[in-house]
Chains A and B, each alone.
Chain A
Amino acid sequence: MTQTAGKILERLDELPSLPAVYHRVRETLEDPEGSLESVAAIIETDPALTARLLRVANSALYGLAAKVDNVLRALTIIGATETHHLVLATTLISVFRDLPLGPVSMRSFWEHSIACGIAARVIARVGGRASPDHAYLAGLLHDLGRLPLFILEPHLMSAALQAHRDRQGHLHRLELQFFGSSHADIGAAMLRDWKIPEVFCEAAEHHHRAAIEQSVGAETAITHVADLIVNSLRIGTSGTRWTPVLDDQAWHAVGLEAGQLPAVVETTIATTRDVTSAFLEH
């Protein structure tokens, strides 16, 4: 890893960190004594988080039968694992939402990430190779490493994007040239730093090279395919203008058939707008 990349890793603490409320929720969920009641109580100490979380819970993401206006009810319906993911996604997007980036707006970035999460969830549900919950979070987090590149090295990243714009190669390859490391590695390092379960770190790390990694997990393969779908649909963007090349091995690993793609695409499009506005609108 080159100096630039090393320096970015050292400077990660300059970025906003996950708020205390997330850590408390997580500790409570991991605590055998903990309960969803106490998780709900922690969340309700933060009115902004409560409101946002209820909006997301009631969005097309979970497809709840009736509108839920009570945190505990919402958590009980979606379950403990999803509670963790929901609180992580909500707090993460909230702390990063209003930061200015350069050539890509934060709004486009999260639109892309959320759409990728949704596509991954649909693929997992249809293909049956991974838990939709896990696939969703893996998709949502896959490009997280772009944020430190944009925020900490704006000029270098603008130069990389410019090279990409001038069609000199895929953006993640150009990142390797400019930084000596790509958003995939940096994102994985960030997630490991935050002690996010390894499966999500791996998905972020390998979503561009599913083929090279022999032991790639289903989540990684799903993230790879979801990223491709969302990029070709152009729902938001994390900077890239080219659709990544489909990796055959990843395609086989997700368990989809070509005929199922239109339905996956349709569901992704139909769901994304609603979920994005639940996460992003003030």
Chain B
Amino acid sequence: MMALHPRPCLLSPAETPGELSQGSSQTLFSLALDVLREAMVRLPACRTLTELFSVLNSCSRTLVPTATTAFLLRQPDACFELVYCAPTAVEHEMRARTEALIESGEFAQALKQGLCYQRARPDQANLLLRIATPRRIYGVALWSDHRIPEDARQALGALTDLAAMSLDRFQGGADSFLVPTYTDRPSLGGASIADDIAIPADQLTGLAHRTHFIRFLHQALERRTPGTSVGALLLDIDGFHRVNRELGCDRGDQVLRDVALRLDSALRSHLIFETLGIAECDLCFSRAGADEFGLAIAHLRDPRHLTEIATHLHNHVAEGFMQSGARLYLSLSIGLADSGRGSDASSPQALLRNADTALKQAKLSGRNKHALYTPDWDERGSPHLRTESLLQEALRQDRFALHFQPFFSLQDMRLVGAEVLLRLKMLDGTPIPPSKFIPVAESTGQIAEIGEWVTRQVCHQIKAWSALGYASIPFAINVSAIELSLPDLTARCQRILAEAQIPHERIHIEITETAIARNEAQALANIGALREAGFEVWIDDFGTGYSSLKSLKNFPISGIKLDREFVKDLLGDPAAEGIAIAVLEMAQRLRYPVIAEGIETAAQLAFLRAEGCALGQGFHLGRPLSTDDFQSSHFAQADADAPQPE
């Protein structure tokens, strides 16, 4: 169209009320640029056709505020289907109008030439624009108004092209969109297209799927510029299995949905965009696992921003959730990684592996923490960090083993029992000390499962040895702080023993004072219940850790085990001697039997025996042995050396 008139003529006040009436084409021009800029940011973030058309419509409304809009997409049968109409009320009118435009050939002209502007009546203009990229034609957009100024038409054309490029991204090879017919669906009060999810979304949370997340990371990594990197965050809800267990799976799902929505809205915030200097389309938030979320950030300028985001998300979750009228407090562990700084994470998988390592590191340092991956972890940290999955594997494949360390009556050196110790080897045979894997198992909650396995295994062994006619000595099992604060500890032990038909006095439970302190009320209840059920309960490592004499005074325990710390320096160190003597005296007065741990020399043994210590264990008396070795050293030998008189 030739500009025969000076430009302002295109914008007479009568046809463009509102904000444009005072404007000149200069304002419209800068406005159009703003609109396009906004569209460029918002369109790539759209996940569905409805979102895309909503953005297209809302952007166009700034240019042509009073226009009615309709978008039609090509169907597999080559027909065009009206898929979006704004305002919704004029749907019938717009439908009729497109029919007429198809009849009169304007539609075909738009498809052929890309654009068709028609003034049907003095008070009605129709602008038809082809929604297409050089590769394919998707559909047609229609704007109707009193008049549509030339500048606005050009801007709308650019806007439509942008939308078409976004459709290319949705498309992934298919030639047309299969869109449910507009009239099939009950209208829910908005211009809505039901079931139009173009990017796979998770049914429960509405977030993108892991597959899309990985695709997003892939693209982001490909497009990174020298000054920027790609960030990945993995977020895990601490102890979520407990929510499911205690509230049930339905409530658990509800909580998960709330967490997802809350995090999503906390992320799509101006504050975040401004802090990072990115646009909404640079973020992809997805459900990465059962109770795990993933966040990918493109064009990350400074990896330090990752920790700011993590703090922001911690804050939004910290205030808790309302569930069934009760407050529920959850925390997140967050692992952060970025593709820069020599971490050489150029594939989504490598980046996610780093984020996962960081997540485990965060978990190890307790709840509600985040950690940023650093490459030097790989050398020193890995075996430890992989422990969690190793434990899961070990449980599944029965790779744990029990060892037994005997304890004796010091007066006559008679075998009176054995402590059960847990051993774990890596696949290559390298042993992992309990001091490495027990803390991990405690932090992940796997300890309860492991404890149950140990109890079963011990019962199994007791049965086997009983069948061989060996002495009915008790076996002492260590119970962790986590298990001691579980309300069903006694019931669990009883159930396992009942199944194996093992009398309760065959099992001793060893607990530490530190474990009691973790949840004193529950520990007290558990100890009482265990004792009532006929289990002996011993205080392990007495004198170290979170020590107080309260446990001796208030808890219905069976006896104490004097920590090796006070045994190892016996003879020579007056302080060690003094403490050992005092503990033994006190225990005698309270009528608690004492097992001295860590007896390594004959001198220590003689000292303890002289001070009236009844029981003892240690390398000098007997090392921890595997099942077979224990049997041959302590049972079979007892049979051979001193056959029972009966």
Contact = CB atoms under 8 A, between A and B. Distances in A.
Interface residues of A, number: 49
B322 A150 contact: yes
B65 interface: yes
Contacts of A161: 261
A236 B265 CA distance: 8
Nearest to A100: B320
A257 B257 contact: no
A257 B22 contact: yes
B27 interface: yes
Contact of B61 (A155, A234, A246): A246
A150 B322 CA distance: 9
B257 A158 contact: yes
Interface string B156-195: 0000000000000000000000000000000011101110
Interface stretch (A125-133, A168-176, A193-201): A168-176
A39 interface: no
Given A103-B258, A162-B206, A108 B320 contact: no
A243 interface: yes
A50 interface: no
Interface in A225-282: 233-237, 239, 241-243, 245-246, 248, 251-252, 256-259, 269, 273
Contact of A104 (B265, B315, B328): B265
A248 B188 contact: no
Contact of A248 (B27, B51, B65, B327): B65
B27 A105 contact: no
B18 interface: yes
A99 B321 CA distance: 9
B638 interface: no
Contacts of A259: 23, 27
Among A234, A241, A256, A258, chain B packs the most CB atoms within 10 A around the CB of A258
B254 interface: yes
A108 B18 CA distance: 33
A242 B53 CA distance: 13
Contact of A108 (B194, B260, B266, B274): B266
Contacts of A105: 262, 265-266, 316-317, 319
B265 A241 contact: yes
A167 B265 contact: no
Interface in B232-258: 254, 257-258
Contacts of B22: 257
Interface of A: 98-108, 111, 150-151, 154-155, 158, 161-163, 165-170, 173-174, 177, 233-237, 239, 241-243, 245-246, 248, 251-252, 256-259, 269, 273
The 10 closest A-B pairs by CB, nearest first: A258-B19, A103-B261, A100-B320, A169-B190, A173-B189, A105-B316, A165-B206, A103-B258, A169-B189, A102-B258
Given A101-B322, A105-B319, 8 more contacts: A101-B319, A111-B271, A161-B261, A167-B48, A170-B190, A234-B273, A248-B66, A257-B19
17 contacts: A99-B319, A102-B261, A103-B257, A103-B265, A104-B261, A105-B316, A107-B266, A165-B206, A167-B51, A167-B190, A169-B188, A177-B188, A234-B269, A234-B273, A237-B268, A237-B269, A258-B62
